[in-house]
Structure 1
Amino acid sequence: MPYFIYNIDPKKQLTYLDNNPNYREAREQARGLRAAQAEDDKGTIKIVFAQNQNEAERLLQATREAPVIGDD
C-alpha cells in the first residue's frame, strides 16, 4: 500500500500531490514540499497510508473525537 501526499487548504479542500510506496521517501518529499511552501500559503501537507486514493481522501476527511486527557 502506498503513502499518499495531499495539500489540505484552510477550507478543508484536498489536493492530491503524489504517492510513494516507501515511507522514508514520502516523508522526505512532504518535508521538501512544506519547505517550498510560500509564506502566505496556509495549506497543510499531509501523508496518509491507504490502499487507494479514495480511501486516503476518506481518511483525511474523517472527523475524529478529541482524546480525553487525565481520565486514566
Structure 2
Amino acid sequence: MPYYIYRVKPFSQLDKLAEFDAFNDASTWAKALRAEEGSAVTGKVKVMFADNELQAEELLCQVRVAGPRGDE
C-alpha cells in the first residue's frame, strides 16, 4: 500500500501533495516540507497509509476520539 501526503486545511479541505511506496521516503519528504514552510502556511502536512487515495481521504476526514489518559 502506498503512503499519501496531504495538506489538511480548515473545514476538511484536502490537497494531495505526493505519493510514495516507502514510509522512509514519505516521512523524509513530509518533514522537509514542514521545515521549509514553517508556520507561515495554513494547514498541516499529514502522511497517510492507505489502499488508495479515496481511503486516505476518508481516514483523514474521520473524527478521532482521544483515548484514556494514564491513571485516569
Q: Secondary structure at the match of 1:42?
A: coil
- Work out the CA distance in 2 between the residues paired with 1:55 and 1:49: 9
Runs of 4+ off more than 2 Å: none
Aligned identity (percent) is: 35
| Structure 2: gaps of 5 or more residues | none
Deviation track 1:3-52 (CA, whole Å, cap 9, x = no partner) reads 00000113321100111001100001101111121542131000010000
Indicate the residue corresponding to 1:59 in structure 2.
59
Q: Distance in 2 between matches of 1:34 and 1:40?
A: 10
Deviates more, 1:21-30 or 1:38-47: 38-47
Give the whole-Å Cα distance in 1 for the aligned partners of 2:5 and 2:39: 20
* Length-normalised TM-score, structure 1: 0.87
Partner of 1:44: 44
User: TM-score under structure 2 normalisation?
Assistant: 0.87
Higher share of residues assigned helix: 2
Q: Where does 1:1-72 land on structure 2 (aligned, <5 Å)?
A: 1-37=1-37, 39-69=39-69, 70-71=71-72
d(CA) in 2 for partners of 1:3, 1:30 = 11
| Aligned positions, number | 71
- Structure 1 residues without counterparts, runs of 5 or longer: none
